[in-house]
Amino acid sequence: MRTLLTLVLILALPLTAAAQNAPNDRERAALRRTQAALQQAQQARDALQAEKQSLEQAHSDEQAKAARQQRDLAGLRRALAQAREALSVQQAEAAAERAAERQRNTQAQQAADAAARSREQALRDQLATSQRSADERRLANGALVQQLAQTTLALQDAERRIDALHALGLEALALYRDKGLAQQLLQAEPVLGLGAVRRENTVELVRQRLDALRVPGPTSAPAPAPSPALARQ
């Protein structure tokens, strides 16, 4: 951020000096678009960073919920095991008593078996419901992880665009530094005007690259590489 602010201040200094020398309007427009594109890229990067933090918090919350769900499942399994153990004990006791009072103990056993089976079935149903809920949470957590990865890629793309804008701003600053040389070339070519044509072409290339580095809509387009014409200026 400090580097970008320094770049904006450096770009603003030639504008003040150029106002006294009546610079070309298209060059000033190119510099203004550079500053606007930098600001827009910074805003997009800040928004992506905020979205990434929000997704990370949501991911952490889902992990905590999944941990609580696992603890609940463990408790239900223990309860099911205790119910089965209780049923086994009841069956053993009933078998010992059937020798004396078979009819009474048979009826009591049937009632106990029915209650135990009902309890076991209820626990099984609750365990299945909890397992489905845990599976759904894992799926939701996977979606959050994927969205977080996409947001990270978008943030990296925004950082790349800012770096490209920084390099383009330095090239624009170099153009202003070489302005005196360009004016000498214009005076040396009063007939053909090749220097003026070359300078106009350079300004047009700067404008085109600035347009290409604008923050895209739903589909992100790659930033163009530095042109050979600007590298020779």
Tens of pLDDT, residues 174-226: 766 666 555 555 555 454 455 556 666 766 776 677 666 665 554 444 444 44
Residue 147: partners with Cβ closer than 8 Å, 6 or more residues away? 55
Q: Provide the pLDDT confidence category of residue 150 given band limits of 50, 70 and 90.
A: very high
Residue whose token pair is 């009591």 = 108
Tokens of 133: 């809920």
Tens of pLDDT, residues 114-139: 888 888 899 889 988 888 888 888 89
Tens of pLDDT, residues 61-77: 888 888 888 888 888 88
Percent above pLDDT 70 for the chain = 64
User: DSSP string spanning 121-164?
Assistant: HHHHHHHHHHHHHHHHHHHHHHHHHHHHHHHHHHHHHHHHHHHH
Give the span between the Cα atoms of 13 and 3, in whole angstroms: 16
Give the span between the Cα atoms of 222 and 216, in whole angstroms: 10
pLDDT above 60 for 147: yes
Give the span between the Cα atoms of 233 and 67, in whole angstroms: 61
Percent above pLDDT 90 for the chain = 4
Residue 186: partners with Cβ closer than 8 Å, 6 or more residues away? 193, 195, 196, 199
**How is the chain split into domains, by residue range?**
2-12+21-232
Task: Name the pTM for this structure.
Answer: 0.32
